[in-house]
Each structure stands twice: as structure tokens, then as C-alpha cells.
Amino acid sequence: MTERVVLAYSGGLDTSVCIPWIAEETGAEVIAVAVDVGQNGEDLDIIRKRALACGAVEAEVADARDEFADGYCLPAIRANALYMDRYPLVSALSRPVIVKHLVAAARKHGATTVAHGCTGKGNDQVRFEVGISSLAPDLTCIAPVRDYAMTRDKAIAFAEAKNLPIVTTKKSPYSIDQNVFGRAVETGFLEDIWNAPIEDVYEYTQNPADARDADEVVITFEHGAPVAVDGREVTVLQAIEELNRRAGAQGVGRIDMVEDRLVGIKSREVYEAPGAIALITAHQELENVTVERELARYKRTIEQRWAELVYDGLWFSPLKRALDGFVAEANRHVSGDIRMTLHGGRAVVTGRRSEESLYDFGLATYDTGDTFDQSQAKGFIELFGLSGKIAARRDGQS
């Protein structure tokens, strides 16, 4: 039986060239697998037909938008996941769901190898290969762009020689990856970190400096999951899509950062993630109202580690699974409404309400009705500072 290779297929130049390239280099049959995670690109049926025209023996397309939103974006919202305190893991979150579909296709078609179109310089090669080895350690991974030094010039020449049905003459100045949770843009003039992004970099967001009326939105959460927008029930996917539209129209979610890549280099990345930033901002504030102080303090440490694990391609790792349990428990009481104003590139919380609230008006107020016993404060301060006071005496501090 002829060996089979499952290829993560996007429909672009590199992965289209990979189909006949793999066939020639390995003698294997290629099964192309395209996964829709809300990238708003070409119709998946067109992509499927292109893969077959490029020489794939079979081509599968999967609508994984709800799966991605429920199983990957939602955990990130609950974890307030921001790599380096800024990046909402747009690309990193999509890789494990694609990996699951690649492994399933390999099992279905009896493939022994999975291929992807990543270079040897980025994070995605790690995310794909570590994810695949975690789910199916018997499968082999290859990366033609990396392993066979497939430069763009070589890819274009190969595509023209094989008369592949793809456009090879026009090159975008940017490298772009996008899904429903956001959009990542890099390379081109952005590689000079002194250069400011220009407006044509952006697609999900409008210029925040443009004059427009503010947009007020109320987001309802249950156990950390967005379940309604302005009182209208929504799925997680619908919540992200609506906030992408409304927050994006206000310029919310633009991020320009120099990022620490897993491979050890620093890389300039421009992101736009209006829905992700709006939802994480709202979720964080509802946690401020409903999560007990010590749990909230510890969760902030867990959030950072959770984001690092996902960024590093360790979605299926034992530590990530264990932290998922912690995050789920920490979100047990995160239910209620958050009102936000979207305007001028910012999502600003203006109101909070929850049946699970730990905010006690009687304890918090300074006006009539104050129930806080201030007479206990003096003794509390004495005991709280006692160890430092004793140490200061020992150390001779006046």
C-alpha cells in the first residue's frame, strides 16, 4: 500500500506547492485537510477543489468555528490569557484544534505522516509537531518549507513549472494569519521596529482616531462564559463575532508589540483582536466582583503560566490540563453582567452586577449605613505589621 501523508492545507502558495512536492520527494499520496476557524478567507469548497487540482488524492474541509470558539477561545477568556500581558493567543489557540483534525484524518486514511507549511523560524512548527506527537506519538511530521529549504522563489518556480492553479505573481507585503479570535500581521516594513503600522495593515478594526459615537454594550456571563449580549442569548462564537464587529468599529483591540518567540528570537507582531480584548476585559472585571481575594491573586499567576503553555504549543500537556481544572473552579461564581463603553480604541467598563457578587455596599460605603467596624482596624494593623516590626528592632532600624 502506498504511503499517505496528511497535509495541513490553507489553499495558499506554500501549502499548494507542498502537495506535488511531497509526492515527488516521498512518493506518498497526499490528503489535504483544511480547517475553518473563522478566518473569513475563500470558500472552503474552492479550497478543497484547489487541493485536488494540485494533486491531492483526497481533500477534506472542516467547519470548526463553534468547536474553536467553545473549546479553545472560551478557556482563554476564562483564563484572561494574554501572553506577555498583551497578546490574546490568536494563532496559538487555533493550532491545537487544527492538530486534532489532522490526527483524525491520518487515522481515517491510514496515513503515517502529517505535514505542515511552517518555516523553521516561527512558533507554529512547534505547536503543530508537539501537538501531533502528544495525540499520536506514532505519527511522523514533516515540514517541506523548512525541511527542503523551500524559499518563496523556489515555490513560485515550482508552481509555474507544474502549472498549479494558484496565483504566484502577486505577493502581499505582510504575512497574515487570522481566525475568529483575531488577526496577526508580520514581516515587510514592520520588521523595522521603528516603523509605525499604517492603516492598510488593519482589517478587523477601524481607525480609533476617527470621529464616531460611542457604543455601549452589556455582556452577560455564566461561569465565565459569555451567554448574552445586550440581553440577547448568544453562543460563544456569536459573542466573539458580535464584539469583533462592534469593538472593531471603535478601533478596540489593536496591539503592536515586540514578542519573545519560543525559538529564542524577538519578533515584531501587529495584532487586532477586538472581540477577544473586549471579552477578556469584561471577564476580568466580573472576576474582580465575584472572585475571593486570595483566589484572584493566585489565579493571576496561573493565567500567566496558562498563556505561556498555550503560546509554547503545550495545549495537550499534563500541566495545561491540570491548570484547566483550576481555571474552571475559579470561574464557578463568575456570573453576571458587565456594561462597557466602546470608543476611541478602548473598552471601558462602566457597570457591574451579579447575584454572585462579593461587593458589600454596607462594608464599602463611607456614608450613613456603614457596617464596617473601624474599631478593629488598630489591632489588625498592629498584628499585621508585627513581624516586620520585630525584624526592624533586630536589624537596628529606627
Q: What CA–CA distances, in Å, run from 272 to 70, 137, 206, 209, 244?
A: 20, 35, 10, 15, 10
Length of the chain equals 398
Cα distance between residue 161 and residue 17, in whole Å: 11
Cα distance between residue 187 and residue 297, in whole Å: 37
339 included as an active-site residue: no
Cα distance between residue 251 and residue 247, in whole Å: 6
Of these residues, 4, 48, 50, 95, which one is catalytic?
95
Of these residues, 4, 50, 94, 124, which one is catalytic?
124
Of these residues, 4, 14, 246, 354, which one is catalytic?
14
Of these residues, 107, 152, 175, 305, which one is catalytic?
175
Q: Going by C-beta distance under 8 Å and a sequence separation of 6 or more, which residues neighbour residue 98?
A: 8, 35, 37, 64, 128
Q: What b/e string do you get for 112-125 counting C-beta neighbours within 10 Å, with b at 16 or more?
A: ebbbbbbeeebbbb
User: Which segments are annotated as binding site for L-aspartate?
Assistant: 119, 123-124
| 333 backbone dihedrals φ, ψ, rounded to 5° | -105, 10
14 included as an active-site residue: yes
Rg of the chain over all Cα atoms, to the nearest angstrom = 25
Q: What CA–CA distances, in Å, run from 209 to 12, 184, 249, 272, 359?
A: 34, 21, 11, 15, 36
Contact predicate 370/362, CB 8 Å: yes
Q: What CA–CA distances, in Å, run from 57 to 23, 27, 170, 209, 346?
A: 10, 13, 28, 50, 49
User: Which segments are annotated as binding site for L-citrulline?
Assistant: 87, 123, 127, 175, 259, 271
Cα distance between residue 86 and residue 74, in whole Å: 17
Cα distance between residue 354 and residue 337, in whole Å: 6
| 149 backbone dihedrals φ, ψ, rounded to 5° | 50, 50
Contact predicate 119/146, CB 8 Å: yes
232 included as an active-site residue: no
95 included as an active-site residue: yes
> DSSP string spanning 69-81?
IIIIIHHHHHTT-
User: Which segments are annotated as binding site?
Assistant: 8-16, 87, 117, 119, 123-124, 127, 175, 259, 271
User: Which segments are annotated as binding site for ATP?
Assistant: 8-16, 117
Half-sphere exposure (CA, 13 Å, Cβ side) for 257?
Answer: 16
- Provide the annotated active-site residues: 14, 95, 124, 175
